[in-house]
């Protein structure tokens, strides 16, 4: 396949892949360095696990987040209750809407129920609780408190 001759006028028929590897490594390093700036900023919320989690539907959705510090976010932006009510009314007037509720594990159950009640009071009957999908059902958090043994 390749030709090689002896003497001063040798024909180089072998493929030298060293420059190609050098270029690919430089491109890889560039991607690794810039990947940290490309990553989308997100709010740190520790979602509970659920083995029966399902993906959300494709209808119009509003993302509501309750943070562990007590903040209320609508689609990633901090919002107060009166402006949230106005946005919920506007979304309901525009058509069918689903609210995706994400709450940190540390948020009190009553606060999540309050948010669900607020959503339903605006005529929005469809909502979903956002959880991290687990491979198995985790132990009951109530049974793992201090001085209590885990249930089988």
Q: What is the pLDDT of residues 86-104, one digit of tens each?
A: 988 888 888 888 888 888 8
Alpha carbons 79 and 59: distance in angstroms, whole number:
22
Alpha carbons 11 and 8: distance in angstroms, whole number:
9
Range with the poorest average pLDDT among 2-6, 31-35, 103-107: 2-6
State the helix-helix crossing angle for 81-94 and 109-121, rounded to 10 degrees. Answer: 50
pLDDT at 25: 95
pLDDT at 23 over 90: yes
Alpha carbons 46 and 107: distance in angstroms, whole number:
10
pLDDT at 79 over 80: yes
pLDDT at 47: 63
Domain-located, residue 2: no
Q: CATH number, domain at 126?
A: 3.30.420.270
Of 66, 63, 74, which Cα lies nearest the Cα of 98?
A: 63
- Total domains in the fold of the chain: 1
Which residues have a Cβ under 8 Å from the Cβ of 26 and sit 6 or more positions away? none
Range of the domain at 104: 49-133
pLDDT at 150 over 50: no
**Mean pLDDT across 17-34:** 90
Which residues have a Cβ under 8 Å from the Cβ of 24 and sit 6 or more positions away? none
Domain-located, residue 128: yes
């Amino acid at each position: 396949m390749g030709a090689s001759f002896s003497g001063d006028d040798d024909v180089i028929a072998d493929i030298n892949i060293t420059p190609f590897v050098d270029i690919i490594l430089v491109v890889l390093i560039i991607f690794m360095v810039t990947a940290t700036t490309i990553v989308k900023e997100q709010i740190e919320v520790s979602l509970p696990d659920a083995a029966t989690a399902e993906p959300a539907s494709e209808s119009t959705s509003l993302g509501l987040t309750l943070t562990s510090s007590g903040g209320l976010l609508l689609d990633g932006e901090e919002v107060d209750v009166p402006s949230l009510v106005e946005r919920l009314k506007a979304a309901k007037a525009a058509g069918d809407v689903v609210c995706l509720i994400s709450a940190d594990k540390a948020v009190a159950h009553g606060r999540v129920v309050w948010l669900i009640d607020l959503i339903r009071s605006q005529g929005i009957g469809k909502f979903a609780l956002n959880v991290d999908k687990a491979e198995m059902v985790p132990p009951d958090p109530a049974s793992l408190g201090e001085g209590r043994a885990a249930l089988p």
